Structure 1
Amino acid sequence: MALAIATESPLQDDVRGLIAELNATLLELTPPEFCFHMTAEQMAGPETTVFIARDGCEVVACGALKRHDGDLGEVKRMFTRPSHRGRRIGFEIVGRIEALARSEGISRLVLETGDRHPAAWAIYERAGFTRCGPVLDYPDSEWSVFYEKNLQAE
C-alpha cells in the first residue's frame, strides 16, 4: 500500500494506540523520571502539530512540532513501528516538521532523545541536526541526548 504522511488529531483511537506503544517502548529503555511523554490530549493542544504516517489505513509512525515562546520549535514524539523501520519514514516526518517550522518563521529546532536510540540519532544527524547541551527545561542527565538545528543558517 501507499504510505501517506499528514497532520492528524492524536485523539483518534488508532493514534492513541501508537502513542501508547511509543510510551511503552521508551519505558523499556529509560527510567520513568527521564521519559518526557506528552499525552494525546497535550499533543492535541494548539501549540503542537502532529504528523501521522499511514500505510493504507494502518498508523505506522508519528512525530510532532511543539512551538515554544519566541521562534523556537521542538521535535517531539518521533516513533516508527518496528514493522516499518528502515523505510526512511522518520526522516520524512522530520522533513515535514522542519518545513512547517520554516513556514511559520521558527528559526531554531531542538529536541531531546534517549541515550539508547542510535537509529533516532542517525535520522536527526542525516536531517542536519547537531548535538548540543541541554535544551528547554530538560535536565542534563546520562539518559538524554540533545540536538538542535538553526533554520536561519541555511
Structure 2
Amino acid sequence: MGVTLTSVTTAEDLDAVRALCWDYRKTLIDNDPIDLQITETFYPVPKYRALMDRLAAEHARPKGIILLARDAEGRPAGCGMSHALEPQTSEIKRVFVPETHRRRGIAAHLCTALVDQARADGFARVVLDTSTHLPAAKHLYDKLGFTRRGPYQPIPEDVLPHLLFFEKSLT
C-alpha cells in the first residue's frame, strides 16, 4: 500500500488534516443535493471553521485520536479521527481519502486503526454515521464488520432518511 498512519501531534500534521477536512466538506457538498443541504445546515462555513479551530481538543488523547495517512512520497493521503461520545462509546468522525488516493485500502486502514485504538483505550463500542449517498462508505463499514443501527444521537426527522448509522462492539 505504501501508506503510513501517524497520530497527529504537530502543527504541520494538524494543518494537513484540516485541509483534508475542508476537502471532505467540499466532497459532500458536490456529492448530492441532499448532502449539500445537510452539510450547509449542520456545518455552515463559520461553524465548520470553529470546529477546525478546536479539532485537536475535540479528538485529544487519551479518549480520542486524529490519524493522518501519508503516501510513500509523504503527501497527505487521508485522515480519520475519533472521540469519546459516552464513557463506553467512541465515535469515528471525518474518515476521508481524497480522490487521488482512493481504491488503495487507505480508508479501511484508517478505520481499522481507529477501532483498534478505541479498543486499547477501553471503549466497549464504536459508532459512526454516513450519508446514504456515499455507497463506498456503506460498503466499507459493512466489510469491516460494523452493524447497522438506529441513530445514536438526536437527528431531525427530515434528515434521518439520508443517513446510515453503524456500530461495532469491541468486547
Partner of 2:23: 21
Identity among equivalent positions (%) equals 29
Match of 1:143 in 2: 162
Q: CA deviation at 1:39?
A: 2.6
Gap change, CA 1:10 and 1:142, over 3 Å in 2: farther
Q: Considering only CA atoms, is the larger Rg found in Structure 1 or Structure 2?
A: 2
Which AA in structure 2 matches 1:39? L
Query: Where does 1:69-108 land on structure 2 (aligned, <5 Å)?
Result: 69-108=86-125
User: How many residues get paired?
Assistant: 152
Counterparts of 2:70 and 2:127 in 1: how far apart (Å)?
25
Alignment of 1:3-152 (within 5 A): 3-9=3-9, 12-28=14-30, 29=32, 30=35, 31=37, 32-33=40-41, 39-45=51-57, 46=60, 48-55=64-71, 56-140=73-157, 141-152=160-171
Displacement after TM superposition at 1:67 (Å):
1.0
Please state whether the residue corresponding to 2:161 is helix, strand or coil.
Answer: coil
Q: Specify every segment of 5 or more residues in structure 1 that has no aligned partner in the other structure, as ranges.
A: none
Deviation at 1:103, TM superposition (A): 0.5
How large is the Cα RMSD of the aligned pairs?
A: 2.2
Residue 19 of structure 1, CA deviation: 1.2
Counterpart CA distance in 2 for 1:119 and 1:70 is 30
| Deviations 1:54-101, CA, capped at 9 Å, x for gaps | 012211101111112211000100111111111110001111001100
1:72–1:78: structure 2 CA closer, same or farther, 3 Å change rule?
same
**CA distance in 1: counterparts of 2:10 and 2:92, whole angstroms:** 15
TM-score, length-scaled by structure 2: 0.80
| Cα shift at 1:14 | 2.6
- Listed as ranges, the gaps of 5+ residues in structure 2 are none
8 Å Cα contact 1:71/1:107 also seen in 2: yes
CA contact (8 A) 2:132 2:138 kept: no
